[in-house]
Structure 1
Amino acid sequence: MLVPKADFDGSFTFYYDETNNLRKFYVREIDFNYSFTANFVLGGLVYEGTQPDIKPLFDKLNLQKNIKEVKLKHIARGEFIDCLKSGKLNLFLEYLFGNNLYIHYSSLNILYWSIVDIVDSAIVNSEVAMQLKPSFWNYLKNDIYKLAKLEIESVIELFYNFEYPNIKKKSVLKFIEELIWIFDKYIETEEFPFGLECLRQILKEVTKHESLPFIMDEEDHILINNFSQFYLRPIYLFKNSSHIFDNEVEISEILSDYKIIDDDKEIKNYSFVDSQSNLLIQASDIFVGLMGKLANYINTNSREKIANDFASFSDKQLKNIDSLLDLIDKSHNKNVAFLHSIDSYEELTKMNLIREIRNRNYA
Structure 2
Amino acid sequence: MELILSKNKYTIYYDESNNMRKLLLAGDEYNIDNDPNQDASPIFVLAGIAFANFSKQIDFDLLKKKMHLQNECTELKFSQMVKIRAKYTPIEAFRYALGSKRFKALFECLSSSKVFIHYEMINTVYWSFLDIIEDIVLCTNAQEDWMNQIFYKDCLYRLIKLDKENFLSLMTGFNYPNITKEHSLKFLERLNDLIMKNVAVKFSEGSKDQDSEMLVKLGFLVYKCIKLFSENINFELVFDHDKDILIEDFSFFYINRLKTFPNSKHILDKECKIEEKINNIRMHDPELDAVNFSFVESKEAQNYLVQISDVTAGFIRLYFNFLEYSSIEDVSLFMDSLNPIQKQTMSLFKELLDKSAEECHILLHRVVVPMDEHKASILLS
TM-score, normalising length: structure 2: 0.84
For structure 1, the 5+ residue unaligned runs are 1-5, 357-363
Q: Deviations over 1:114-147 (max 9, x none)?
A: 111101121222232xx34754211111111112
Count of residue correspondences: 347
| Aligned counterpart, 1:149 | 161
Report the equivalent of 2:199: 186
Q: Kindly provide the CA deviation profile for residues 324-357 of structure 1, in whole angstroms up to 9, marking residues without a partner as x.
A: 111111111111121101112111111111023x
Counterpart of 2:255?
232
Match of residue 345 from structure 2 = 320
Cα shift readout 1:299-339 (whole Å, capped 9, x = no counterpart): 11101122233322111111111111111111111111211
1:91 and 2:114 correspond: no
Q: Give 1:61's match in structure 2, choosing from 52, 62, 67.
A: 67
Secondary structure of the corresponding residue to residue 151 of structure 2: helix
Q: Does 1:38 align with 2:42?
A: yes
Give the superposed CA RMSD: 2.3
SS in 1 for 2:249: coil
Other-structure match for 2:52: 48
CA separation of 1:203 and 1:106: change in aligned 2, threshold 3 A? farther
> CA 1:351 to 1:174, structure 2 compared with 1: closer, same or farther past 3 Å?
same
Q: How far is the alpha carbon of 1:77 from its aligned partner? A: 2.2
* Closer/same/farther in 2, CA of residues 209 and 36 from structure 1, 3 Å limit: farther
Going from structure 1 to structure 2, the CA distance change for 1:67 and 1:156 (only over 3 Å counts) comes to farther
Q: Is the Cα contact below 8 Å between 1:40 and 1:292 reproduced in 2?
A: yes
Distance 1:68 1:219, change over 3 A: farther
Note the 1:1-363 alignment, pairs <5 A.
Answer: 8-34=6-32, 37-49=41-53, 52-55=57-60, 56-64=62-70, 67-78=73-84, 79-128=93-142, 131-132=143-144, 134-184=146-196, 185-186=198-199, 190-191=209-210, 192=213, 195-196=217-218, 197-205=220-228, 207-259=230-282, 260-261=285-286, 266-277=289-300, 278-356=303-381
Q: Is the 8 A contact 2:24 2:246 kept in 1?
A: yes
Question: Cα offset for 1:51?
Answer: 6.1
Output the CA distance in 2 between the equivalents of 1:227 and 1:107.
Answer: 12
| Contact 1:246–1:273, Cα closer than 8 Å, also in 2 | yes
Q: Could you list the per-position Cα deviations for residues 9-51 of structure 1 after superposition, in whole angstroms to 9, with x for gaps in the alignment? A: 1211100001111111112123213355431111100011266
8 Å CA contact 1:243, 1:270 repeated in 2:
yes
Deviations 1:207-247 (A, max 9, x none): 32452122223112111112222211232221111011111
Q: Decide whether aligned partners of structure 1 residues 315 and 227 sit closer, same or farther in structure 2, where only a CA change above 3 A counts.
A: same
Q: Is the 8 A contact 2:175 2:244 kept in 1?
A: yes
**Deviation by residue 1:39-85 (Cα, 9 ceiling, x = unmatched):** 11111000112661331213322224554421221111222111111
Cα pair 1:122 1:203 within 8 Å, conserved? no
Identify which range, 307-316 or 234-243, moves more after superposition: 307-316
Residues 110 and 116, structure 2, Cα contact 8 Å, conserved in 1: yes
Contact 1:17–1:284 under 8 Å retained in 2:
yes
What secondary structure, in the 3-state scheme, does the structure 2 residue paired with 1:214 have? coil
Deviation at 1:100, TM superposition (A): 2.4
Q: Secondary structure at the match of 2:29?
A: coil
Question: SS at 1:213's partner residue?
Answer: coil
The answer to which of 63-72 and 140-149 deviates more is 63-72
- Segment drifting more, 272-281 vs 147-156: 147-156
Q: Is the 8 A contact 2:264 2:291 kept in 1?
A: no
CA distance in 2 between partners of 1:206 and 1:54 (Å): 63
> SS state of the match for residue 270, structure 1?
strand
- 1:359 corresponds in structure 2 to none
Deviation at 1:101, TM superposition (A): 0.7
Identity of aligned residues (%): 27
TM-score normalized by the length of structure 1: 0.88
Q: Is the 8 A contact 2:10 2:52 kept in 1?
A: yes
Q: Answer yes or no: is the 8 Å Cα contact 1:38–1:292 preserved in 2.
A: no
